[in-house]
């Protein structure tokens, strides 16, 4: 997405962030156009849509407000995803999600809800590493820089996150064990529209 | 290769080419736990891939701008407070401190004969000195209390709608499915009851709200008022009628309704119409059945507790 240009010209995102610091509203819009969807998608995997939109808006607010302090030689993705990680590390609203097993099988909305709850229940560091590496699909080097840690530590966090998710998402991962349905019949997209009334 | 090393290899696709696959395959053949976990990891990846990117709400950019503007307004308010009230109050405190120091130093008669004449004259005069004029210090501009409102301004403010109602208009509009049909979108124009006249208490509240509002808040109030006035008459009547139903709700319940309205706004037109007809069908049931049907509705089950409780209260309201 942020393709390097030739010579010393800054990457588009870095250049736009510098323009934002100079008060350029068009640069602000361009950054929003490029990044609002990926940022929102990541946060929406752990929060309900409305809080996710608020958290994503907080990311852009922080990005724009700190634009004047952004080092043009620094990595824009690391900066952006670092802010996303900060939002993703906040404790989500407390609550226990209970979904009847039969309902889980037939409702796409329930499946989304249980995935969201499972991600939200991860420890903050593991959650941020998982979201950045697996949902935002960032290379481990960027994730490590965004989280201010080493790639080895990111790998360890990812393993822990996957192990926790494997435990908490068992009803989704191996539905045949509990409900007699084969995994192939479990298409998470099927009935997605039916999730809404 | 031990279990941890294997797991770190399979969560990092970029490491697949490092060291070849042989050790991975060898470990998986020997270790049942890792084999099972690898299957689960792959299933999680499939779940992630199956979920498409989510589309942020249509008003997302406005939310960002609102956040930026809100902070700016706070900064401005802070600056104004510092420049006027705080500095004014600081001047008063400083004046009082100086006055206190002068008063403590002044009444010290010195009867010692060895004191020079000039100095004795000065100390003898000290008790006759006027106390420092604190009122003069206090006369620096301190805008702690605003002046009385003129008749014209008072009438203009009383003509405004309640700011809480104006801020809630969009929510009321989106919550149409939860209101009875007679005050819903299909309400025929003019059928809604005429708004009741405001009592003196409400008018006093309105004036107090206006006085407490900062210039930015007043500007926002006027903008909301204009936007509301621009709606058709029948729609304004419907919205006011809806407000009468929810204005007694607690702040938490109102916040719950606001979030519920936001969730409804994320639905497409078809889903919203279906939801509305299903809720209309619920209203024909008794209170306990209505509550049961509401709580078991597929959409409602995705809501938070506060959103569910607020919607339920509205649905069960007489």
Residue A130 has a CB neighbour count (10 Å cut-off) of 29
Nearest residue in chain B measured CA to CA from A54: B63
* Cross-chain CB nearest to A155 (options B12, B278, B297): B12
pTM above 0.90, yes or no: no
Question: Are the CB atoms for A135 and A165 separated by under 8 Å?
Answer: no
Burial B230-242 (b: 16+ CB within 10 A, else e): eeeeebbbbbbbb
Please give the average per-residue pLDDT across B140-147, as a whole number.
41
CA distance A5 to chain B (A): 25
Distances (CA, A) of B150 to B6, B79, B127, B158: 79, 28, 48, 12
State whether A163 and B44 contact (CB < 8 Å): no
- What whole-number distance in Å separates Cα of residue A104 and Cα of residue B29? 33
For A68-103, write each residue's pLDDT tens digit: 888 888 899 999 999 999 999 887 765 556 666 666
CA distance B162 to chain A (A): 26
Mean of all residue pLDDT scores within chain A: 80
State whether B50 and A189 contact (CB < 8 Å): yes
Share above pLDDT 90 across residues of chain A, in percent, rounded to a whole number: 47
Could you say which DSSP state residue B14 is in? G
Q: Indicate the pLDDT class of residue B136, thresholds 50, 70 and 90.
A: very low
- What whole-number distance in Å separates Cα of residue A25 and Cα of residue A30? 9
Residue B179 has a CB neighbour count (10 Å cut-off) of 22
Best of A31, A34, A50, A130 to mutate (most B CBs within 10 Å, chain B): A50
Cβ-Cβ contacts under 8 Å for A70 (sequence gap 6 or more): A14, A17, A18, A21, A76, A79
State whether B54 and A57 contact (CB < 8 Å): no
Which structure tokens are listed for A9? 């010209």
The mean-pLDDT minimum among A14-18, A134-138, A193-197, B165-169 falls in A193-197
- What whole-number distance in Å separates Cα of residue A119 and Cα of residue B207? 49
CA distance A155 to chain B (A): 6
Tell me which residue of B297, B282, B258, B304 sits closest to A195, measured CA to CA: B297
State whether B8 and A109 contact (CB < 8 Å): no
- What whole-number distance in Å separates Cα of residue B163 and Cα of residue B142? 28
> Which chain B residues have a beta carbon less than 8 Å from that of A114?
none
State whether A163 and B45 contact (CB < 8 Å): no
- What whole-number distance in Å separates Cα of residue A59 and Cα of residue A78? 13
Tell me which residue of B160, B173, B153 sits closest to B220, measured CA to CA: B160
């Amino acid at each position: 997405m942020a393709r390097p240009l030739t010579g010393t010209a800054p990457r588009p995102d870095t250049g736009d962030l510098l323009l934002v610091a100079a008060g350029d509203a068009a640069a602000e819009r361009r950054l929003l156009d490029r990044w609002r969807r990926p940022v929102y998608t990541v946060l929406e995997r752990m929060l309900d849509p409305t809080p996710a939109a608020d958290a994503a808006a907080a990311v852009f607010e922080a990005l724009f407000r700190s634009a004047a302090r952004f080092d043009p030689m620094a990595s824009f993705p690391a900066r952006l995803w670092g802010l996303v990680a900060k939002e993703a590390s906040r404790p989500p609203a407390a609550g226990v999600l209970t979904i009847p097993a039969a309902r889980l099988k037939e409702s796409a909305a329930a499946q989304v809800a249980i995935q969201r709850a499972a991600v939200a229940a991860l420890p903050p560091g593991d959650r941020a590493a998982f979201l950045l590496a697996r949902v935002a699909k960032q290379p481990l080097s960027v994730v490590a820089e965004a989280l201010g840690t080493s790639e080895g530590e990111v790998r360890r966090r990812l393993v822990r996150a996957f192990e926790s998710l494997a435990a908490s998402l068992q009803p989704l991962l191996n539905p045949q064990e509990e409900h007699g349905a084969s995994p192939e019949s479990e298409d998470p997209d099927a009935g997605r529209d039916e999730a809404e009334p | 290769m031990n279990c941890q090393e294997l797991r770190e290899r399979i969560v990092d696709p970029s490491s697949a080419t490092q060291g070849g696959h042989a050790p991975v395959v060898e470990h998986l053949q020997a270790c049942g736990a890792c084999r099972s976990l690898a299957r689960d990891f792959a299933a999680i990846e499939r779940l992630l891939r199956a979920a498409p990117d989510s589309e942020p709400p249509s008003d997302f950019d406005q939310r960002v701008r609102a956040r930026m503007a809100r902070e700016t307004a706070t900064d401005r308010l802070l600056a104004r407070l510092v420049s006027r009230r705080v500095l004014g109050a600081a001047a008063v405190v400083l004046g009082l401190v100086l006055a206190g120091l002068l008063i403590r130093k002044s009444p010290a008669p010195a009867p010692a004969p060895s004191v020079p004449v000039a100095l004795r004259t000065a100390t003898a005069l000290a008790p006759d000195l006027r106390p420092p004029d604190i009122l003069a210090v206090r006369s620096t501009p301190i805008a702690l209390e605003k002046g009385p409102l003129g008749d014209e301004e008072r009438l203009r403010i009383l003509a405004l709608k309640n700011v809480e109602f104006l801020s809630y208009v969009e929510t009321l509009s989106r919550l149409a499915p939860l209101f009875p049909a007679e005050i819903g979108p299909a309400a025929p124009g003019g059928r809604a009851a005429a708004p009741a006249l405001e009592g003196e208490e409400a008018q006093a509240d309105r004036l107090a709200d206006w006085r407490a509002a900062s210039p930015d808040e007043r500007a926002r109030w006027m903008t909301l008022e204009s936007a509301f006035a621009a709606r058709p008459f029948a729609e304004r009547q419907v919205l006011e009628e809806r407000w009468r139903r929810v204005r007694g709700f607690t702040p938490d319940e109102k916040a719950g309704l606001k979030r519920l309205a936001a969730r409804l706004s994320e639905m497409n037109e078809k889903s919203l119409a279906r939801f509305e007809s299903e809720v209309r069908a619920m209203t024909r049931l008794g209170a306990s059945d209505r509550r049961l049907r509401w709580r078991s509705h597929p959409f409602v089950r995705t809501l938070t507790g506060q959103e569910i409780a607020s919607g339920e209260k509205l649905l069960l309201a007489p």
